[in-house]
Amino acid sequence: MFDGYLTEARFDDELVRVLLGVQEGELGSSAPGSTGVALPAAGEFEPPHGAFLVAVDGGAAVGCGAVRLLEPRIGELQRLYVAPPFRRGGAGRMLLTALEGRAVVLGCERLRLDTDGRGPALALFRAEGYEPIADYNGNPHARFWFEKQLTASVDRPRTVFTNPRGEPLPRTDGGPDAGSA
């Protein structure tokens, strides 16, 4: 069972690169010993264009996920990953819920994603209301494409987001402590 927390991170943080390297290796899409992780354009997964979150448990990064603006009012979920020992323990659902909340804050009305369908992710997406759609991005590694209609009532996690030093970050979602540290 996941008993950790979520924190914001940059896509190019070493902790993130290592975690994504593990993901790439699991998917068989990188050479042995190489992270194979292509960096996105500067700021693509940072406010006001997106967000990148890491799930931390016992001081170790055990999962991650990102959301970015694909076009006005449409966001895209990317890089949702949970390490095998933490799957089916709530980390994936916590990340997904938090990323949906961030997408709403970014002004998204719909959230899209693609997946190869491995592991429990496919069941999670379906259970959380994602509906199948046509291929929207031509990703040759994907076998499934989904979209979810978001509303302002998407549950936002009651999670404290921290910086790499563990200090709470100010809320950016207009919550009761928005603007305070």
Q: What is the pLDDT of residues 112-138, one digit of tens each?
A: 999 988 778 899 999 999 999 999 999
Q: Which residues contact 30 (CB under 8 A, 6 or more apart)?
A: 21, 24, 36, 37
Q: Give which of 10, 8, 35 is closest to 22, Cα–Cα.
A: 35
The answer to which of 9-18, 26-35, 129-138, 148-157 has the lowest mean pLDDT is 26-35
Domain ranges (residues) in the chain: 5-149
CA distance 46 to 8: 9
Neighbour tally for 62: CB within 10 Å:
21
Q: Please state the pTM of the whole predicted model.
A: 0.77
CATH superfamily of 5-149: Gcn5-related N-acetyltransferase (GNAT) (3.40.630.30)
Mean pLDDT of the chain: 80
Q: What is the pLDDT of residues 21-62, one digit of tens each?
A: 877 777 665 444 444 445 567 688 888 899 999 999 888 888
**Cβ 153 vs Cβ 129: under 8 Å:** no
97 pLDDT more than 70: yes
